[in-house]
Amino acid sequence: MSSLHRGFQVRQHKPWKLWLGVVLLIGLMAMFFYLGKNYQAYQLEHLMLERETLVSRIDELETRNHNLVQKNAHLEGGSKIERDAYELANQELARLQQELLAQKEELVFYQGIVSPKDAALGVNLQSFEVRKKNSQNQYSVKMILTKSGKSTKKISGGANVVIRGENGGSVSELKLTDLALENSKIGTKFAFRYFQVFEGDIALPEGFEPFEVEIGIKPTTKKVKSFSETITWTRVLSEGV
């Protein structure tokens, strides 16, 4: 009879191996999240240092330009060398000012991502801007949403953007998605861990005069609050928000 059972083996179940694997996985996730946050904080600090350097350089160039302007005012025409120096200083100043503007935008972006540790989990409207494309009432639209809070959890939901304006003496509301051009897709759904960018082109109806934009953010993730923000059209068109 004993020979009939030689093919069977008794294996012991070791649940501690499963728990060890789970603990290691959680530890790796926490490590990657910590490294990611540290890298973002480093990027933010690096950008702030670069910004200070640029501001200092711009102040120096502005002082130099001021002196050159005064010099040129006393010397009608001036020498070619002085005129060339003045032109070069102007070009360098314009380049650095453009670079500083880009740095400011990047700095604001990173500040939106690198949230304080005690910040509640939520969605931020990082930026919303509209730029006119041509004389046919066509515009390019760009919206960036970022997450606040230290959780690595993905936030999902929908964005509803409405443009209000006057048309023939009455106020009307137009959904951004209804204004999208055929070759441009502007989504309304979002799902992200850190940020999401919405971009596309729209065309406003003839005779429609926009005066404000209402942006409604409705997350479907639990414990994440909905909110809405209304911004004047002139503000989003001229400088973005």
How far, in whole angstroms, is CA 24 from its chain's centroid?
Answer: 33
Report pLDDT for 241. Answer: 55
Please tell me the predicted confidence (pLDDT) of residue 8. Answer: 46
Do the bridges between strand 227-232 and strand 138-148 make them parallel or antiparallel, or are there none, so unpaired? unpaired
Domain residues for the domain of 128 are 122-238
Question: Does this model's pTM top 0.75?
Answer: no
Which residue did the predictor score with more confidence, 122 or 89?
Answer: 122
- 133 with 165, same domain: the answer is yes
95, part of any domain: yes
Q: Which of 64, 81, 113 is the last residue of a domain?
A: 113
d(CA 95, CA 146): 29
- pLDDT, one tens digit per residue, over 131-173 is 998 878 899 999 989 888 777 788 999 999 999 999 988 999 9
Residue 74 has pLDDT above 60, yes or no: no
Residue 128 lies in a domain: yes
Percent of the chain clearing pLDDT 90 (strictly above): 28
Task: Please say if the pLDDT value at position 203 is more than 80.
Answer: yes
Domain-embedded: residue 205: yes
Q: The domain that contains 203 carries what CATH number?
A: 2.60.40.1400
Mean residue pLDDT of the chain comes to 77
Each residue of 19-28: pLDDT tens digit?
A: 777 777 787 7
- The winner for highest mean pLDDT among 61-75, 93-107, 170-184 is 170-184
pLDDT at 195 over 90: no
77 pLDDT higher than 60:
no
Same domain, 105 and 126: no
Domain stop point among 95, 113, 131: 113
Residues 107 and 49 in one domain: yes
Q: Mark whether 109 and 134 lie in a shared domain.
A: no
- Three-state SS for 144? strand
Torsion angle of the four alpha carbons 203, 102, 39, 218, in this order, in degrees rounded to the nearest 10: -30
Give the mean pLDDT of 87-99: 74
The number of domains in the chain is 2
Residue 3 pLDDT greater than 60, yes or no:
no
Check whether residue 88 and residue 161 sit in a common domain. no
Domain edge (last residue) among 55, 85, 113: 113
Sheet architecture: strand order including 122-132: 122-132, 138-148, 195-203
Residue 91 has pLDDT above 60, yes or no: yes
Interatomic CA distance for residues 24 and 154, integer angstroms: 21
